[in-house]
Amino acid sequence: MIEWMTEFVEQTGYVGIAFLMFAENVFPPIPSELIMPLGGFAAARGTLSLPGVILAGIVGTLLGAAFWYLVGRWIGCERLRRFAERHGAWLTISPKDVDAAQEWFRRHGWLAVLIGRVIPGVRTLISVPAGIAGMPVATFAVFTAIGTSVWSTFLATAGYVLEEHYAEVAHWINPLANLVIAVLVGLYLVRLVRARRRARS
């Protein structure tokens, strides 16, 4: 994958970086932990500029985040509430939980979006509840842009400094992403077991 991405960025430049970051948000197995450091490496070689790489990464990420935000808006709280009524046993949430989560997100959602954009494993997912809760588009865009700017700048700068060793950035971050995913899966399993026990009792 690294060789293909390197050749793709060399041929397409900033547009290629923006496209890859968009694809990374829509199809998470394409890792930003490789895309942006690769762009930073290209900037270190003089092929691209570091500010241009960062801007391209931000634009691509915003477009990808907008896609999942719109998916969340399409789902909406009413549809999610009905889904929870039918499948709450394995979803581990009830319609009341949906209402509570919506209220919390309306009050503190901006902070969740801001922090979520810099946490591997959560970056893409955070757009969906923002859309479901009906977060204003401007609020979502602003805090997504801020968090994305921090993340893209960090990754691109790391690739710029490391140059040909840019791929090491992914080796540093991937364990954290795996840990976050493992924690989320673990929390879900705990909720599922508790829900089953309550149903039996």
DSSP per residue, 34-59: HHHHHHHHHHHTTSS-HHHHHHHHHH
Residue 46: per-residue pLDDT = 87
pLDDT at 150: 93
Question: How many Å apart are CA 170 and CA 47, to the nearest integer?
Answer: 22
Q: In this predicted structure, what is the pLDDT of residue 75?
A: 86
pLDDT confidence of residue 179: 57
Distance, in Å, from the CA atom of 182 to the CA atom of 24, rounded to the nearest integer, reads 20
Give the residue from 176, 151, 178 showing the smallest Cα distance to 40.
Answer: 151
Q: Residue-wise pLDDT tens for the chain (201 aa)?
A: 567 777 788 888 899 999 999 988 887 666 777 888 888 888 888 889 999 999 999 999 999 999 989 988 888 878 777 766 776 555 556 677 677 777 777 787 888 889 888 877 677 778 888 888 888 899 999 999 999 999 999 999 988 888 766 566 655 655 555 555 565 566 556 655 665 565 566
- Are 147 and 68 in contact, with CB atoms under 8 Å apart? no
Looking from the CA of 192 toward its CB, the CA atoms found within 13 Å total 9
Is residue 28 a contact partner of residue 125, using CB atoms and an 8 Å limit? Answer: no
Cβ atoms of residues 152 and 57 within 8 Å? yes
Q: What distance in Å separates the CA atoms of residue 10 and residue 16, rounded to the nearest whole number?
A: 8
pLDDT of residue 42: 87
Task: Specify the pLDDT at position 127.
Answer: 86
Compute the distance between CA of residue 73 and CA of residue 81 in angstroms, rounded to an integer.
Answer: 14
Beta strands in 58-198 (DSSP E): none
Q: Where are the domains of the chain?
A: 2-77+101-167
